[in-house]
Amino acid sequence: TANANTSVLCNTCNCNKDTATFDCTEVKLNSTTSFPAEAWQSLNATGLMAKKIILKSTGLQRVIRFPAMNVTVLDLSFNDIETIESQCFIELAQLEVLDLSHNRLRTDTLTPDIFEGHYSPEFFEPLIKLRELRLGSNQMHSLNPDLFENLPALEVLSLELNTFKVIDSQAETAISGIAALVSLDLSYMELEDIPTYLFHTPRGLRYLNLTGNLLKEVPAALRRSEGLTWLSLDENPITSIVMGNEFPVMKNLTYLSMSYMPVLSVIGRGAMRGLVSLQELHLTNNPHLGILHQDAFARNDTDNPERLDWPPVRRLFLHNNALKYLDAQMLVQWDAMEVIDIRVNPWSCDCTNRWVVSTLLPIIERTTPAILNNIVCDSPPQMQGISMIDLEHQHTKLRCLDKAGNNPSNDGALLMGLLIGVLVAIPLTAAIWCIYKRGCFGLFARPGPASYSRAFYSRTTLNEEF
pLDDT tens, residue by residue, 34-53: 999 989 988 888 888 999 99
What are the residue boundaries of the structural domains of the chain, listed by start? 1-163, 238-403
The pLDDT value recorded for residue 173 is 97
Domains 1-163 and 238-403 share a fold: yes
Beta bridge partners of 75: 54, 99
What CA–CA distance (Å, rounded) separates 201 from 177? 6
Short-list 172, 175, 186, 227, CA closest to 205? 227
pLDDT (tens digit, 9 = 90+) per residue, 208-217? 999 999 999 9
Distance CA 229, CA 280 (A): 11
**If pLDDT is split at 50, 70 and 90, which confidence band does 7 have?**
confident
pLDDT band at 297 (very low <50, low <70, confident <90, very high): very high
- Whether 260 and 234 have beta carbons less than 8 Å apart is answered as yes
Q: What is the pLDDT of residues 73-110, one digit of tens each?
A: 999 999 999 999 999 999 999 999 999 999 999 999 99
* pLDDT confidence bin for 451, thresholds 50/70/90: very low
**Banded pLDDT at 429 (limits 50, 70, 90):** confident
CATH 2.40.420.20 for the 238-403 domain, yes or no: no
Beta-bridge partners for 292: 267
Do residues 155 and 182 lie in contact, with contact meaning Cβ atoms separated by under 8 Å? yes
Of 270, 31, 213, 95, which is closest to residue 221 (Cα–Cα)?
Answer: 213
CATH architecture of 1-163: Alpha-Beta Horseshoe (3.80)
User: What confidence tens digit (pLDDT) does each residue in 384-398 have?
Assistant: 999 999 998 988 888
Which pLDDT score, from 0 to 100, does residue 304 have?
Answer: 79
User: Residue 455: pLDDT above 50?
Assistant: no
